[in-house]
Structures are given as C-alpha cells and as structure tokens.
Chains A and B, each alone.
Chain A
C-alpha cells in the first residue's frame, strides 16, 4: 500500500512552514490557515459551501492534483463531528422559531457525508463513497475501509481523508467539558506547560492510497491498527508490541516515533509510559502543538509523517538522517488508540 499523494489544510500553512518557523497562536484554539478558495472554486460554489466543506473539498482536490488522478476508485471520509456549523444553524433556528419558517439549506448540508458527497459531485465520480463518524476512530475507520477495499481488488486507488471543524459553539461547549487550558500561552510552548487541558484544533487531511507505486510516492503504508478503551498503559504497550511483531520488526527498527501528546498532564502520561516501555532511545516528533487536539488529528499526523518520509527532513530533529521507518502513535482522550507504520519507498 502506497501513499501516492498527501494534502492537508491545517493551522500550519505548509510542511515548509513547519520546518522553518511553525505558526504560533496565543490562544487555546488553533484555526486552520485556509487557502484562497477563489483560486480553487467559482464564487457561486464558495457561497454555498460551509467552511468544513470548503476545507475538505479543497484538500481532496489538492491531493488528486498531486497524484494526477482525475477520478479515484473510491472516496472515503472520516469526521467525528460532521458539518457542525450547518447543524448548529438549523438547530438554533428550529429552537428559536419554534419549528416554523425554516429553510432546507443548512439541514441538507448538515448531513455527515456532505464532504464526501460534494467531492463526488465535483468530480462526477460514481464510484464507492463512504463516511465514518466514529469519534477518535473516524479517520482510522476510513483508512481501514480504504485498505480493505484495495485488498478486495475492487479498485486501483482510493481517496481517503479526515476532516473536522471548530465552531464558536463547539469551542464553548468543549470548553465547558474542561478540555482546554484556560490561560494564555503559545501553542509552541504546549509541552512546557504541564497543566490540565489541551488546545483545540481542526483540519482536513486527504491521501491517495494505491496498491502500486509510480516511483514518486510519499511513503509505503505497511500497516495500521486500533485499540479501543484499554484498561491501562500496560495494555497499550502490549498492543504496540503485537503490532511490531506482526510486521516482523523491533522497536529499534523505528527511526522516528510521531506521537500525539496534547499537553494535558494526565493524557500525556499514557504516551510517556508507552515510550518508556518500548521507545526509550527512539527519536520522537510531536505534532499537536502544530495542529491542536481533535478527533481526526491522526490525519494531520499521517500527512506530517508522509512529508517527513518524502523530504527526509524532521522538524524536531534537524540533524537526524531520514528515517527508514516511522511509527505514528496517537490516542484520543485515552479511549481511541491508533498506530500507523510507514516505510520509505
């Protein structure tokens, strides 16, 4: 399985920006650095689309353009929250107007598969189209759907991605759950700040996966796995060990660990325990100070890892040579744990 193309819209403008001087935010909310959509779509379409749809469709378009693919064999999307802005709009109007005088546009666009559907509509692509909405496993589910679909020999290539947005309302509500740090500091200091809470993030990441490589792929995707609700960090270490074992490698073979610490002390202990057990001497690259914490953040991690593979440059380790294998480990709120193994191709 090869990652032929990787595209993202995130709080960082580009991988080059991350290498040179990552964007800094003095807030607990990292919004995406969105491109100028007028260069991508005509004005009529832009007016109709909500922000998450624009982000998702623009990222998908960039990914397909990189791979020089007109119409992929399948389009698969993962999103935990779906189209929040349209959902809130319809819900608020419905409550305020007491179920009268409503218009359909927001309802139509609130459907969870809108991003995948709009990509298909834009491409006039009649192929397989699926959307997964499973919290911190939304992107992982989409990836497994893509991988198994390719194994079924049903298609040549799959466009697969993860997308989630922050809205003012979602930020207020998730803040009430106590998810975010309440004092002002820079995202680039996230890991020097061992207090409770993390920073909110959002983004879109799309990939073109193919069974064959044409020589200019970003990386080979060897394997992925998920673990739901482990009872202890020890169970996570066992899960990682089993994963390495089934891929016939040892912890020492991993050149770089891309790891999902989010700055919350209790949350990050899970990463520390797993590393202590298996990856004491392994170079690591954190990523949530770049993109913030959100359920489909592993899509950003995969984009980052794919770019590290392609360029041989590691943001956190300017002097380390290009890794032969990268392992991504992430968990979302200690419930959803995932692993991705990449090799240089």
Chain B
C-alpha cells in the first residue's frame, strides 16, 4: 500500500442546488434538476429539457466574486472550488504547496458562440473579450487566480471522465510529495455547442432521463461544478477537523472500441473498476455503494451494467445514477459525483435513482429507488466514462477507526 491521500472538503453547484446543503436536500427529497431551458438560448428550447444551475450569469458572478462577462464555466468552477476550500477546515493555504487541477470539456465555448455569430459575418467583427477565455485552461487559470493558487495549475479534458481524472492526478501528485494540497474536480456550463453535438448523436432524451431502466431513451445534459480537497498525511495533522475519507483506489483504462460508443461487454469500464479495486486492496464485496456513470443512454448503461455484472457477480452493491437528478454534466460529472460519494460516506447515505420503473432484462440487478440515511457505507465506487473510450473509477473509503 502506498501513502494515503485524504479528502477534507467538498464543494458543489448543480441543477439541484448552489451548495452542498441544497444538493443534499434535493437528493433526500427526490427533487430532480431538469426543467425547460431557461438560461441557455437555443432553438431546441421547447424540445429538450436540461438540468441548469438556476441562476443567471450576473447572479453567479456576484456569488463567485468575478466579472459577469466571463465564461459561465469559470463562474460555476469558482463557486464550487471556493466552497470546497471553506469546507476543508484549513487555516490558510499559506506555506503549503497547493494545486488547482480542474477539468472541463467546453472551456469558454458559451462566449465563443456569441463571438462566432458576429465573426462569421465579418472576420474583423466579434468582441475579442468573448474569445480570450476560449481555451479549457483559461477557465482553470481565472479560478486559480481568484483562489490564490500558484504552485500548480492544470486542466484535463477527456470528455465525460475528465474530472475523475483530475481527482486521481491530484492524488498522485500528493502521494509523490509534489503537492501538499490540491483542489481537484471539474466544471462545465451548458452550451449550444454541446447540446447540438449530443443532439446529432441522437442520445438526448426529450423527457427526463431514466438511467438503468429497460426503457431508457437517452440522457439530459446538465451543468455545474464539483471539487474535493485532497491533502497529504502531513497536512491532516494540522487540520481543525478530521478528514472525511481517503481516496483509496483509482484507475483509468481505455475501451479502445469506438470514438463515442462503449463496447457491448464494457471492457474499459470493467478494467477501470477492477484496477481501482486492486489499488485499494479491496474485494468487490467490500463496496457498499456504486455511484454509476449511468447516463441513461442505451449504450452506456448496458456496457456499464455488463461490466458490473461480471466484476461483482452474485453480490451486487447498492447503486444508483445521480444523473437522474443533475443531468449529465460532462466534464463536471466526475467531480460532482466525487462530492456525492464523499457525502455518502460522511453521512451514511444511499441515493435513489429517480424515475426507475423497469429492470433491464440483461441485468440481474436494479438501482436503488429510495433515499436511505444511516446506512453502513464504508467504501464507495464512483464511475466516469467518456468519449474516446476513456473509463475512470475512483474508490472513496471511510477512515479505519
């Protein structure tokens, strides 16, 4: 076993709440975040429900303490990252080698879309202010500067597994004594680009999604940001509070099957989950809850389900897709779901899989449908799988008494 990496704080903003408390309340009350499009302006407004953060950019900017003209991706990121640090019980970051490792897939595309409308009419037109933060890394730097983090900044983009990769990369840098503390996770705002992209793939559900249901129709896109604070053993001893859990295992594997589709037997998903279990030194039977990738598409859910069937054969943990609440937040999903996993350990929670009706015929198990409190939850597995066959699994474990 290598040196442990501890998690001491979490911050989240999503369609079901602007902070941890609001997210927890919505999870407990079964309140989904999908609705008719209100903040994104798109031709598909009437047809495609989305899971938006329920604030306009001005309100987000006020909460983030940043200018309102910058990308919504950066505003969401700043709110969740600041909350994560406040939640971590640190005196300050001073004297610590700190890192901000954030993932996203859209960068400043929300602003680039505005720019391009003018630019296409005349290459000398369009406000450069709307283009200057286009790159994915720009959102990370805007937020790192607000957080006052300078030692290490980095951005990962591997589609829907992006922020899970950010979490394990941060853990590795701490283990190898390169950083003392890292805020890691991801952010994405809804954009016309991604909405139309997923729409051309014909995997968007025109109703609210039903992950892991036999009659699932596709996914709903969402937006938000989620970060966890990872620290070394040395930092833990200086904290005002006990750490919540450790990141006990992680693994990234590639499906190497197709650019966007998962292999029918979920090879990549299987290898990621198996690798994370091996690293944590746990057996499949030790996992108490799986936070599924569970997008609600035909392809993902059967691939992920088949891989779980093979790995956990006969003894299936409780599981659910919280995307039935938040929608699929793409580059933010691994971060948001890492936060939900940490909260599940902290409070002994099992989240429901909303709108589940019919068990998938090919699977011998079904997701949880009711919210449970006070459960024995010692180890949580969180899955994040993305385009390019990019499959990541994280395992969060309660501290041994």
Contacts and interface: CB of A to CB of B under 8 A. Distances in A.
Contacts of A130: 156, 158, 165, 169, 252
B267 interface: yes
B137 interface: yes
A145 B137 contact: no
B256 A113 contact: no
A145 B131 CA distance: 29
A111 B105 contact: yes
B255 interface: yes
Nearest to B102: A134
Contacts of B253: 126-129
A99 B154 contact: no
A116 interface: yes
Interface stretch (B73-81, B116-124, B361-369): B116-124
Contacts of B112: 91
Interface string B191-210: 01100110111000000000
B117 A95 contact: yes
Given A104-B201, A112-B136, A118-B259, A137 B154 contact: yes
Contacts of B201: 104, 107-108
Nearest to A93: B196
A128 B387 CA distance: 14
A291 interface: no
A228 B155 CA distance: 13
B229 to A, nearest CB: 20
A94 B194 CA distance: 11
A133 interface: yes
Contacts, number: 180
B157 interface: yes
Contact of B193 (A90, A112, A173): A90
A108 to B, nearest CB: 5
Contact of B156 (A82, A124, A125, A131): A131
Contacts of A82: 136, 157
B137 A80 contact: yes
B113 interface: yes
Contacts of B169: 130, 145
B256 A134 contact: no
Contacts of A137: 137, 153-154
B391 to A, nearest CB: 9
Given A131-B158, A145-B169, A81 B197 contact: no
Contacts of A91: 112-113, 116, 193
A111 to B, nearest CB: 5
Contact of A135 (B131, B137, B259): B137
Nearest to B172: A148
B4 interface: no
A124 B268 CA distance: 11
B18 interface: no
A229 B144 CA distance: 11
Contact of A109 (B113, B158, B257, B259): B259
A243 B328 CA distance: 43
A145 B152 CA distance: 13
B320 interface: no
B349 interface: no
Contacts of B123: 172
B135 A129 contact: no
Interface in B169-193: 169, 172-173, 175-176, 178, 192-193
B168 to A, nearest CB: 9
Nearest to B103: A133
A145 B116 CA distance: 34
A131 B157 contact: yes
A303 interface: no
Interface residues of B, number: 66
B256 A125 contact: yes
B138 A135 contact: yes
A133 B156 contact: yes
B154 A141 contact: yes
B287 to A, nearest CB: 21
B314 to A, nearest CB: 25
A149 interface: yes
Nearest to B198: A107
A123 B196 CA distance: 31
B113 A95 contact: yes
Contacts of A248: none
A110 B191 CA distance: 14
B254 interface: yes
B176 A151 contact: yes
A129 B158 contact: yes
A36 interface: no
Interface in A68-126: 75, 80-82, 90-92, 94-96, 98-100, 102-104, 107-114, 116-118, 120-121, 123-126
B213 interface: no
B386 interface: yes
B388 interface: yes
Contacts of A92: 116, 120
Contact of B135 (A80, A103, A124, A172): A80
A132 interface: yes
Given A129-B388, A134-B136, A134-B155, A120 B254 contact: yes
Contacts of A125: 254, 256
A94 to B, nearest CB: 5
A130 B153 CA distance: 16
B397 interface: no
Given A108-B387, A113-B159, A126-B267, A176 B136 contact: no
A226 interface: yes
A133 B131 contact: no
Contacts of A116: 158, 388
9 closest residue pairs by CB, A with B: A117-B388, A107-B197, A112-B157, A135-B137, A134-B137, A104-B200, A99-B43, A134-B155, A133-B136
15 contacts: A82-B157, A95-B117, A102-B200, A111-B387, A113-B386, A121-B389, A126-B254, A129-B253, A131-B156, A133-B135, A134-B155, A135-B137, A151-B176, A228-B153, A229-B150
Interface of B: 2, 42-44, 105, 107, 112-113, 116-117, 119-120, 123-124, 128, 131-132, 135-138, 140-141, 144-145, 150-159, 165, 169, 172-173, 175-176, 178, 192-193, 196-197, 199-201, 252-260, 267-268, 271, 386-390
